[in-house]
């Protein structure tokens, strides 16, 4: 037997009823047969009752889903047909008690097609669906038209009610007109909350998380102070992981808007998703309580928020390099840039690799050239070599200088050295190629690191 649900949604912050589809998008999680009809959302749930544990359980979970998204559901009613459910919802919204016999005792005004004929039918003593059904069909058709009988037959389930089933758009792209001109970022952020909520409904219905979206606004003026203005301006927001957390996205957008000066007042805003990805399903834990929220903020959310506030290039992340040269073992890149997580090879896996236990706490960048006095390296006094040498030869794979030698080729002997003035330092002797004239190997000394 068909089973229909009708419910209404109240959203005090949505202006002029512009955001009508988001609650219906959430209803698609419970059944694929959802329709927007007049003032209600209609759901055919006969094929979904067993999946959701019965009608009471489905209605309870539907309410919880809508309320968690910020929508207020006043009434959820059930009927054998879509129009019966809609009629009972209208009675509940009017604050009246439902009749005992359904559909026979349903008032005529609860069916939209009968509203123009309620007064003449009442003069005939016909006030309910049952009274109208008892009248001769030929006389009703001649007096009020065949459309009245057709509407009654659809309401009673004798003929099908052709509804347009709701389908999610492939791409989320929604714009709304602002009730008043916005001349600053905080005003745009307040208006954007409704679009972000709609985006969350779309993501939840598709079981996806957003990775990149664009927030744009249209200028009310085309020319300001003698300067031509662009039709619109926009901000792009990216996240490290797919997310449906609109609180986090609102914080990111707020940080960007606080540092944005509007060229002119805005009269329309728009949110469009550029990239999204499927969210992994989370299996419930049968042994432990996995519902307890974790304290603090996720690491990637903190990095994204700092990047939005300070600028993407001012938040850097360390990336290890497979290189034995101390100055090339790591490099920094903006945290917003996507990197392939390839772990570098172990730098000390070879028996000839540099012993990490001898690496200093601080590197001198760039390495400082040392002078020689009496054949010994000098740094605030003569340096005494305590440990070494550790030989390093690397960088031959980088671009050459055109003469057959690598410009980055490093051929070094590292030592731990000491004197009373500077304490322990890390120095190296650079071995240069033999000169053309003397044929001897030349050496230069550099300060590379300082121990704590």
This prediction's pTM: 0.58
The residue-averaged pLDDT of 243-259 equals 91
Cα dist. 287→283, 291, 295 in Å? Answer: 12, 12, 21
Per-residue buried b or exposed e for 369-394, using 16+ beta carbons within 10 Å of the residue's own CB: ebeeeeebbebeeebeeeebebebeb
Residue 189's nearest CA partner among 112, 247, 107 is 247
Handedness of CA 364, 369, 373, 374 (dihedral sign): positive
DSSP 129: H
Tokens for 294? 């974790």
Q: What is the pLDDT of residues 13-70, one digit of tens each?
A: 454 444 567 888 889 889 989 999 988 999 999 999 988 999 999 999 999 888 877 7
Q: What is the pLDDT of residues 425-437, one digit of tens each?
A: 999 998 776 554 4
**Residues β-bridged to residue 191:** none
**Residues β-bridged to residue 394:** 410
DSSP 53: T
Tokens for 13? 């912050």
Instruction: Measure the CA–CA gap between 408 and 400, rounded to whole angstroms.
Output: 8
Q: What is the pLDDT of residues 301-343, one digit of tens each?
A: 777 778 778 877 788 887 777 777 787 777 787 876 655 444 4
Instruction: Measure the CA–CA gap between 300 and 317, rounded to whole angstroms.
Output: 11
């Amino acid at each position: 037997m068909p089973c229909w649900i009708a419910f209404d949604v109240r959203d005090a912050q949505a202006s002029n009823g512009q955001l009508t589809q988001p609650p219906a998008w959430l209803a698609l999680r419970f059944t694929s047969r959802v329709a927007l009809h007049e003032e209600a959302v209609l759901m055919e749930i006969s094929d979904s009752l067993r999946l959701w544990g019965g009608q009471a359980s489905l209605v309870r979970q539907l309410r919880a889903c809508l309320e968690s998204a910020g929508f207020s559901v006043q009434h959820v009613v059930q009927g054998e047909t879509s129009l019966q459910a809609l009629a009972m919802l209208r009675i509940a919204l009017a604050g009246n008690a439902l009749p005992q016999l359904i559909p026979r005792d349903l008032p005529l005004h609860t069916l939209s097609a009968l509203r123009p004929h309620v007064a003449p039918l009442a003069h005939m003593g016909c006030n309910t669906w049952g009274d109208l059904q008892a009248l001769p069909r030929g006389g009703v058709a001649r007096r009020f038209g065949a459309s009245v009988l057709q509407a009654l037959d659809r309401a009673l389930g004798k003929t099908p009610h052709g509804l347009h089933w709701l389908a999610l758009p492939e791409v989320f792209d929604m714009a709304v007109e602002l009730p008043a001109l916005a001349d600053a970022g905080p005003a745009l952020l307040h208006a954007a909350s409704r679009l972000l909520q709609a985006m969350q409904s779309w993501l939840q219905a598709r079981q996806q998380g957003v990775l990149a979206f664009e927030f744009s606004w249209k200028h009310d003026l085309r020319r300001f102070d003698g300067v031509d203005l662009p039709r619109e301006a926009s901000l792009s927001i990216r996240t490290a992981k797919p997310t449906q957390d609109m609180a986090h996205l609102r914080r990111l957008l707020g940080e960007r808007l606080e540092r944005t000066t509007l060229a002119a007042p805005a009269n329309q805003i728009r949110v469009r998703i550029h990239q999204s990805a499927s969210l992994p399903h989370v299996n419930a834990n049968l042994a432990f309580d996995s519902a307890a929220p974790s304290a603090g903020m996720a690491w990637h959310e903190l990095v994204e928020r700092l990047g939005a506030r300070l600028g993407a290039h001012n938040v850097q992340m360390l990336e290890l390099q497979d290189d034995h040269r101390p100055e090339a073992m790591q490099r920094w890149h903006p945290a917003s840039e996507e990197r392939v997580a390839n772990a570098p090879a172990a730098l000390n896996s070879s028996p000839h690799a540099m012993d990490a236990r001898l690496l200093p706490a601080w590197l001198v960048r760039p390495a400082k050239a040392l002078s020689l006095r009496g054949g010994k390296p000098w740094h605030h006094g003569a340096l005494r070599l305590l440990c070494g040498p550790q030989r390093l030869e690397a960088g031959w794979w980088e671009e050459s200088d055109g003469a057959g030698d690598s410009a980055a080729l490093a051929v070094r002997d590292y030592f731990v050295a000491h004197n009373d003035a500077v304490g322990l330092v890390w120095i190296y002797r650079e071995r240069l190629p033999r000169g053309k004239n003397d044929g001897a190997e030349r050496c230069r000394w550099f300060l590379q690191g300082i121990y704590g």
